[in-house]
Structure 1
Amino acid sequence: MPGLEGDAALGSLLWMTVCVVLIIGLAYWFTKFVAGRGALGAFSGGRRMEVLDRMPLGRDQSVVLARVGERYLLLGAGTAGVTLLAELTEEEAAAWKPPEAAEGEKPGFKEAFLTVMKQKQRERR
């Protein structure tokens, strides 16, 4: 019978559609689960990355100081992406680190940036 072949094809199509929707739903749930746990708990032990300061340079452009583990990175961020400008040494990063409570108020981003640039110029000479 010609009608049964059409019904079987329609049933097969509906079954495949339900399977695809189910797979997409499970994939969505799994990605939310993994993102919530931080790659299955790999980074749940504490923050290893931190943005210490950000200085806007213009529309959609800024300089960012980030700490990743024990490394300090000076990054340029813009619409084209993120670029590594410099990796700071421990001495250079000292100008960026928050001072101890006894030392008083911490320097601003501009002052710390100028201090690091002066140190770089002295190294080049």
Structure 2
Amino acid sequence: MLLGTVAAVVAVLFLSYWFTKYVVGGGALQKALPSGAGKRMQVLDQFVLGKDQKLLVVRVAQRYFLLGVSAAQMTNLAELTAEEAAAWQPDPAQEGEPTPPSFYESLRTVLNQRKK
């Protein structure tokens, strides 16, 4: 009984770590691509409208598109002009900012603080 409970807790922790790192962080698609992919094509932003429905701003080479995506189809809603696309250009001031810690790093920090 105790071994089953420990295994369930470990499984929940692992799934929480995986979910926050890959699914919530938006890296699931990027990590699934082969090495070298994603240099010319990139999802810059997304907005969830409902179940299986979202809006995406996508960069392909130097062109920007607003896409509507559902479970059944993907629709090109608009091609953004250079002025409109400027809002999604990386800000040089933000490039030097550190990324937030991952779930694993946060959990390890909390556990180390509790040990002390």
Measured against the shorter chain, the TM-score band is: 0.3 to 0.5
Q: Which structure's relative contact order is higher, taking Cα pairs within 8 Å and 6+ residues apart?
A: 2
The TM-score with structure 2 as length reference comes to 0.47
Rg (Cα) greater in structure:
1
More helix by share: 1
